[in-house]
Amino acid sequence: MSQSSALASFMAGARDTVPMLVGAAPFGMIFGALVGTTQLAPWQGQLMSLSVFAGASQFIAIGLMVGLAGAMVIWFATFIVNLRHMLYAAVLLPHVRHLPGRWRWLLGFLLTDETFAVMDSYYRKHPHAPLGHWYFLGSGFSMYANWQCWTLVGLLFGAVFPQLKTLGLDFAMVVTFISIVVPQLVRLPHFSAAVAAGSMAYLLKDLPFKLGLLAAIVIGVAIGVLLTRLRAPTSTERGMA
């Protein structure tokens, strides 16, 4: 494998992720601005983005900190929200199973909703791409760098412009997630998970502390992972293919 080929795949992954970068930018900016409403110092907010790198979990953690929730409550809530990554991993694992552990750990850390959408589309078109992991790295790293930059912007300007977090920029987050979810609904596991999670979120919307939303996430992920495993080809079927 030549370095130029690896670099070309890396750059292609970054290039194809640009639409997701635009959608995530306001999300990161709002997070940075919200850090100023908590007891966290700006450097701690940036450190959270550097080490956690999970937008939804970071927002939930910030909200719980404002409400003076305990560490175990914050940990449990963020753990439940991130369970959806089990479904992502179940889909992408066949394409990265052959990689060394250091690659799988790195790509797992960089995996986000946006990167999953890019990689799922890529692997459907190129199921046996020998340099797919470099494309994956380009997509994930571009999202990581983008998140750090916009977190910093929010941290720097959130105090100067307190109204930054009330400008309706969170609408971009909703649009981004719609663009991620809708293309995935052509698959039965994803469609079933979405229907189950949406139904449970509506039925349990009156539970306190957003417990209905957490329960909906658990149920949706469980159904998605179960159906993904049930529909996965067996070793015998793979050998006959």
Judgement on whether residues 122 and 191 belong to the same structural domain of the protein: no
Q: What is the pLDDT of residue 122?
A: 94
Q: Are residues 44 and 162 in the same domain?
A: yes
Does residue 70 sit within a domain?
A: yes
The CA-CA-CA angle for residues 31, 42, 54, to 5°, reads: 40
Spatial distance between the Cα atoms of 119 and 94, rounded to a whole number of angstroms: 12
The verdict on residue 177 lying in a domain is no
148 and 195, same domain (yes or no): no
How much is the pLDDT for 3? 63
- Report CA Rg, the chain: 19
Evaluate if residue 179 carries a pLDDT over 50.
Answer: yes
CA distances to 24, 26, 28, 156, 213 from 171, rounded to whole Å, are 11, 9, 13, 22, 19
Q: What is the torsion angle, in degrees rounded to the nearest 10, for the CA atoms of residue 31, residue 36, residue 41 and residue 42? A: 50
Tell me the three state secondary structure of residue 97. coil
**Same structural domain for residues 106 and 193?**
no
- What is the pTM (predicted TM-score) of this model? 0.74
Please write down the long-range contacts of 74-81, taking CB distance under 8 Å and 24 or more positions apart: 77/214, 78/54, 80/214, 80/217, 80/218, 81/56, 81/57, 81/214, 81/217
Residue 238: the pLDDT is 43
**Residues 189 and 231: beta-carbon distance below 8 Å:** yes
In the chain, the number of structural domains is 2
Rounded Cα gap, residues 20 and 4, in angstroms: 25
Could you report the per-residue pLDDT of 183-241, keeping only the tens digit for each? Answer: 667 778 778 888 888 888 888 878 776 677 778 877 887 887 788 777 665 444 444 44
pLDDT in tens, 4-59: 699 999 999 999 999 889 888 888 888 888 888 788 889 999 999 999 998 888 88
Q: What is the pLDDT of residues 148-170, one digit of tens each?
A: 999 999 898 876 655 555 555 55
pLDDT at residue 171, rounded to an integer: 59
Q: Last residue of some domain: 139, 167, 195?
A: 167
176 falls within a domain? no
Q: Take residue 26 and report the two structure tokens written for it.
A: 């306001």
Are 124 and 217 part of one and the same domain? no
Can you tell me the distance from the alpha carbon of 12 to that of 49, in angstroms, rounded to the nearest whole number? 24
pLDDT in tens, 60-117: 888 888 777 788 888 888 887 787 888 788 889 999 999 999 999 999 999 998 899 8
Full DSSP string of 203-220? HTTTSGGGHHHHHHHHHH
The residue type of 189 is: P
Closest CA relative to residue 117, chosen from 201, 58, 176? 176
* Residues 131, 80 share a domain: yes
CA distance 130 to 147: 28
Residues 6 or more apart whose CB falls under 8 angstroms from that of 170 comprise 26, 27, 30
Residue 216 lies in a domain: yes
Question: What domain range is 145 assigned to?
Answer: 3-167
- Tokens 């959806």 appear where? 84
Do 40 and 94 lie in one domain? The reply is yes
pLDDT at 169: 52
| Within-domain flag for 175 | no
Question: Does 145 reside within a domain?
Answer: yes
Contact present, 170 and 51 (Cβ < 8 Å)? no
